[in-house]
Structure 1
Amino acid sequence: MGPTNPFSRDPDAQHNILAYKIFTLISFLLSFVTAIVYTHSPPLDGSYTNGTIFGISNLHVTPFTQSHVFVSIYWIVLYILQVGYIWHLFSGNEAHVKAAASVGSHFILFNLLHFAWIMLWCRSHFFLSEVVQVIQFLQLTALYLRHSTLPRWIHTPVVAMPLTFTFFLVVWNGAVMVHCHDLICRILANIAIWGIVVYAGFFLAVFKDWHVGFATAFLSAGLGVGQFFTKTIALQWPFAFAIMSIVFVSTCAVAFPEVFGASEAREGGERAPLLREDA
């Protein structure tokens, strides 16, 4: 017997949808509440140094340490947009429910892995937290490649913003893991930071994805601010701001082609839009 259609009127299928909605909501609340609690209070267990999310960051400053203000703003916006995604999942519009459910397993996994990362990071288990983030990056990349034409209200909070933050977090956590503080590591970081341009450039060139572009530009600015207040006499923060400028201008060229004289190409169908406006 083939798989049950979860959107049919079959009672078993309806139970599956109900269970899916419950797991989505629980996983989101688990991730959200844990992030709020561990932003303000450190864990009381564990054999290593414990701290809040930003407290651990302050104890292990690296060339990829972000501005905590920028990170906080980013996640506030992301959580608000994710609430909108969940609202569509619980709506009475079958098309919206179907669109939201198409990426549901990845969204649940994202929340669970984010929860695991917080628990490990705040207990200074940096190798394990890095492994979690690498898995997170791979599963979000797989989600992106499988569903590159999602409606904007799904793509931004479930795919583009989580994937971009995970990319930055992999190098941030990795730098903490290898204790990147000496001169040689900082020189290597001055080279590695340009990988941000490659990351954003790939999604802008291949998918015309300005959501990833603007998210990357914002976090690059956050990296620049964080590095400026960490080590003023250094190359990392000027590089970060240069990267932010390059990515921002490139993203604007993709998002607003008519401003950059590309309206003819758009009218000719050479620039197909990445995302659908609705489900």
Structure 2
Amino acid sequence: MAFGNPFSRDREGTQRNIMGYKIATILSFLLNLVFTVMYSLHAPAKNHKHTHWNHTIYGLQDHDYTAFSPSYVFVSIYWVTLFILQIGYIWHLFSDNAANVKAAASVGSHFIAFNLLQFAWVHLWTRSHWWFSELMLVLNWTNLVALYLRHPKSPRWVHLPAVAMPLVWVEFAIFWNGAVMVHCSSLACRILANIAIWNFLVFAAFFLLVFKDYQVGLATSFLLAGLGVGQFATKIFALQWIFAFTIMGVVFISSLLIAVPSIFGKEESSDAVVDRERAPLLEDA
């Protein structure tokens, strides 16, 4: 009696829906891109029926500057880089290489969900609906963690723009949005923020130690550098920027220690290890 291979996955559904992934991916990406750029430059139109304050994405700098408010220059650089890399990811959906198309499509549904939830966050954030915008971030975090656990070893050109950088951004934005949501500017709240900031060290360390994911580490260190610059520019005599730069340095150096041997091929790829471990089982199947 023949038994199916328990290590194989049915990808026929994904292959049948390639065209749908292409269309939905492009539309969701453009939706996120256009409104992010638009609301970075201009605040949403004022609705006189509502009392909420409308502002640009970076318009809170002089109003609700909290212990997690970053340098908007760093955030802008991060997003410009992410958008460029995501264009490269989308391009692979149209590649003549079937393996590249399959790799890109395998994360397609989560990538589309990320764009839609990020689009929703931009709309809610710029209209000062901070509780609902925080909810969008939590949902997006859940979406991206599920994506990561399903595809922890995607090719670099998929992993960085579709998994690592979006996940790091959402992790950071949860704290930024949350601090604005509770108006974290008092001394007591800043003390709590001095403790909460160490979450980023735990977050990065988890992915560095468990998955050896230096891409998450480097992205985290960049945003922490932006947080340090943003805090230093507003409160020189404070601990938050010191902690931010300390965590940034530790995570950055740790990421380099993993990245250098990985990039130059001094350690065996995880996929090769998995394939070798599965080989005896596949032969017996």
TM-score by length of 1: 0.88
Q: How far is 1:256 from its partner?
A: 2.3
Give yes or no for the alignment of 1:185 onto 2:192.
no
Deviation at 1:52, TM superposition (A): 0.4
Matches within 5 A, 1:27-66: 27-46=28-47, 47=50, 48-66=52-70
Amino acid paired to 1:33: V
Q: Contact 1:106/1:140 (CA < 8 Å) preserved in 2?
A: yes
Alignment RMSD (CA, Å): 2.0
Identity %: 56
| Contact kept? 1:148, 1:274, Cα under 8 Å | no
Q: CA separation in 2, counterparts of 1:256 and 1:21?
A: 34
For residue 236 of structure 2, the aligned residue among 228, 232, 238 is 232
**In structure 2, do the counterparts of structure 1 residues 7 and 142 end up closer, same or farther at CA, with 3 Å as the change threshold?**
closer
Unpaired segments ≥5 residues, structure 1: none
Q: Is the 8 A contact 1:66 1:222 kept in 2?
A: yes
Provide Cα deviations, 1:174-216, integer angstroms capped at 9, x if missing partner: 0000110100000010111111110000000000000001101
- Once the 2 structures are TM-superposed, how far is the Cα of residue 4 of structure 1 from its aligned partner? 8.5
Report the counterpart of residue 17 of structure 1 in structure 2.
Answer: 18
Unaligned stretches of 5+ residues in structure 2: 1-9, 273-285
Structure 2 CA distance, aligned partners of 1:176 and 1:30? 25
The answer to whether structure 1 residue 242 and structure 2 residue 251 are counterparts is: no
Contact in 1 for aligned 2:14/2:106 (Cα 8 Å)? no
The alignment status of 1:122 with 2:126, answered yes or no, reads: yes
Q: How many residues align?
A: 259
Matching of residue 5 in structure 1 with residue 12 in structure 2: yes
Asked whether the 8 Å contact 1:148–1:275 carries over to 2, the reply is no
Amino acid paired to 2:155: P
CA distance in 1, matches of 2:223, 2:62: 18
- Superposed displacement of residue 89, structure 1: 0.5
Q: Tell me the amino acid that sits aligned with residue 85 of structure 1.
A: Y
TM-score under structure 2 normalisation? Answer: 0.86
Distance 1:195 1:273 in 2: 29
1:81-118 deviation line (CA, Å, top 9, x unaligned): 00000000012221111111100000000000000000
Distance (whole Å) between structure 2 residues aligned to residue 225 and residue 53 of structure 1: 18
Structure 2 matches for 1:140-159, cutoff 5 A?
Answer: 140-159=144-163
Shift of 1:246: 0.7
Q: Is the 8 A contact 1:209 1:274 kept in 2?
A: no
1:273 counterpart residue number: 269
Aligned-pair CA distance for 1:272? 4.6
* Structure 1: 4+ residue segments shifted above 3 A: 271-276
